[in-house]
Copies of this chain bind each other. A is one copy, B any other.
């Protein structure tokens, strides 16, 4: 079976999940923390080489304050949980903004944790404009793109799995996602089941990979 090298994870549906359980929206984010680690362990099991989690974006920070604090907190805790695994971990995002949680500053340089392992990228206060604007510092004689954006240490994506049913990228790594196959799970992220992951991999296996050709 053909396994993708790099999977992108868009963990959406937390607020709708909370509302469906009769809770206020910001209560949904915490439910997804252990799910993030579960997905990591499944990736380890099948031999995925790189995972990128879509934590939160500069767009998201326009949400009501209690939601912003809740999802920021959840991302900080998610990174801390992942840091206990064997991984090569990097947090990517705009650190020059007050929205960036200071507790995650140590993770903004890639480091091997435990025995090292899967390359894990976690997007925190990420913005597609912020990312692409870095190109303006480059010399136009050099035609490469991926090396000259802020997220340059994140490889091209092979498969993106989005929970929560929305069929859109919502600004997720526009350069790395150009050829990615896109699998959508209708269930909300906190309602994660292992079969979502295996269904996505089985579907990916049936796609022809042409890289735009």
Contacts and interface: CB of A to CB of B under 8 A. Distances in A.
A171 interface: yes
Q: Interface of chain A, helix or strand or loop or mixed?
A: loop
Copies in the complex: 2
Contacts of A135: 132-133, 135-136
Contacts of A210: 170
A26 interface: no
Interface residues of A, number: 39
Contact of A167 (B57, B60, B182): B182
Interface in A49-101: 57, 59-60, 62-63
A131 to B, nearest CB: 10
Interface in A100-138: 128-129, 132-133, 135-138
8 contacts: A57-B212, A60-B213, A128-B145, A129-B145, A132-B132, A167-B182, A169-B169, A169-B178
